[in-house]
Structure 1
């Protein structure tokens, strides 16, 4: 049996906002920061954290408006707002430097923090996080149509995807039947149960805001080219949003990055390929991130 280590479930008052986060490992160990994706929360990292808590301090917050964190009226629910939250959250915990796990929309949020404070980034782990517009998968077609013609009717159609069925589709994505059996329905039922009318509105706004985020893609790429952080790219190509080409595109700017493809995997590798991902991440972090 693989060794597991306790995961702590904590709350923090951050500038008057109740923030829930998960933590594992010694607090004086090198830090791995884990910003989550959509439509998820820190729950996506629960098993991963439990496997690496012997050598690293792993920290995964729920963004405001997500998971078990509060949904304040005054928070800026956009990529800049979330990046600022990550900055304030890590500063509050006294975390100066960290490896950054980039997944889903957490990729763009994390990279905005990296652009602003590159000296804090020890390494990157990139797992199905898109920053190259020319390699976007076919599932982006509907979004791109909305970006081109953002009418209220189109927005209403977009909102229909923020639903229990829509969440199930997001989690299953394009994986085959065997891999789908490894993805627990807890993922979509838990996260849908935590939705409120306000959170649903926020989710639609964030999805609509992806258009503005596309303009940041060249900035993310420029950061990678300039700073060349040690990078592991671990990717599931069975992803209608981010196919294999989206992973290989990173090598344009990070020619020395390590690329590993899980050919039968999709967007949620920590559900379907946990042990392989843990072994791969453990080896990478052991080479590049061993000093706090």
Structure 2
């Protein structure tokens, strides 16, 4: 009996010692500091603008510009994945997410105005040098900022963000009709994109495993899309998108002139902004890292870890504080 007790004691000591050593080993390997996300609201020209922020402020800064019809919520996981290495800012545009929604009589809902608000936000936050994550609506907003201040932009990360006519396929025909004939009748079919089923479709079309896509996404989007007058705001933005297309040649000329290092991480199954719009970047930019991912429009939902890894390696290579 004494021998058995001695053996049991020895086994317990061995197990505890091994557990403690393994814990110390893992702790020693994990040298990255965890930075929590903070949730902030700041006054920009009389508007309450919400933004998420994480990471050390002395690290290279990455500005995360969200698409339609969502908000900075789309970057929640990417922020966690990158916050130990980079300073991240993800704002909500006026009328989206948790930012203020001014009445349409008081604010012109255009891509130019959105870019002005984000530019002024960066000034208020004393951010002078940064990389831009450009997705969907975030692309024309970011490229407008780049157009005004190319010297401030250190690199692009482009994820299903268009700057070429080749990227506007048949999906855009109803919007072209709206641009050419700005009527209530032509706008009505477009309202389905920000109805519940339209939102769900945008998140799930082209993904490989729908079970990995959280329904929280489209229900959270509905919180701002259901506000009074927001439907009209979205239609105004749809109509104003035509102004982006006319600027494509100008932006392409700036790409050729300034040559920002560019990472393309594109959901290749997206029919809103298909991969046809990804390839032309190679025409104008010499320093391009190019990845087509087997997923849909909101690529971060299914390929977020892959994208985070690509970004981390890319920024380490090309961007210094």
TM-score for the superposition, normalised by structure 2: 0.85
Question: Which structure 2 segments of 5+ residues have no match?
Answer: 1-25
> Aligned partners of 1:223, 1:173: CA distance in 2, in Å?
33
Q: Which of 240, 243, 257 pairs up with 2:271? A: 240
Report deviation, 1:184: 1.1
Q: 1:105 to 1:157 in 2, by over 3 A?
A: same
Contact 1:183 1:272 in 2 (8 A): yes
What's 1:268 paired with?
298
Answer yes or no: is 1:222 the counterpart of 2:249: no
Answer yes or no: is 1:188 the counterpart of 2:214: no
1:189-245 deviation digits (Å, cap 9, x = unpaired): 111122212222111110121122211111121111111001111111100122222
> Aligned partners of 1:99, 1:172: CA distance in 2, in Å?
28
> Aligned partners of 1:62, 1:49: CA distance in 2, in Å?
14
Question: Which structure 1 segments of 5+ residues have no match?
Answer: none
What's 1:37 paired with?
67
Q: 1:231 to 1:158 in 2, by over 3 A?
A: same
Contact 2:261 2:318 in 1 (8 A): yes
> Aligned partners of 2:281, 2:162: CA distance in 1, in Å?
9
Larger radius of gyration: 2
Q: Which has the higher helix share?
A: 2
Q: Which of 195, 216, 234 pairs up with 1:163? A: 195
What's 1:59 paired with?
89
Report deviation, 1:76: 2.6
What's 2:41 paired with?
11
What's 2:16 paired with?
none
1:4-26 deviation digits (Å, cap 9, x = unpaired): 64111111122221111100101
Answer yes or no: is 1:71 the counterpart of 2:71: no
The number of equivalent residue pairs is: 288
Contact 1:39 1:170 in 2 (8 A): no
Report deviation, 1:158: 2.0
SS at match of 1:197: coil
Report deviation, 1:31: 0.7
SS at match of 2:188: helix
Contact 2:203 2:296 in 1 (8 A): no
Contact 1:9 1:22 in 2 (8 A): yes
> Aligned partners of 2:82, 2:189: CA distance in 1, in Å?
41
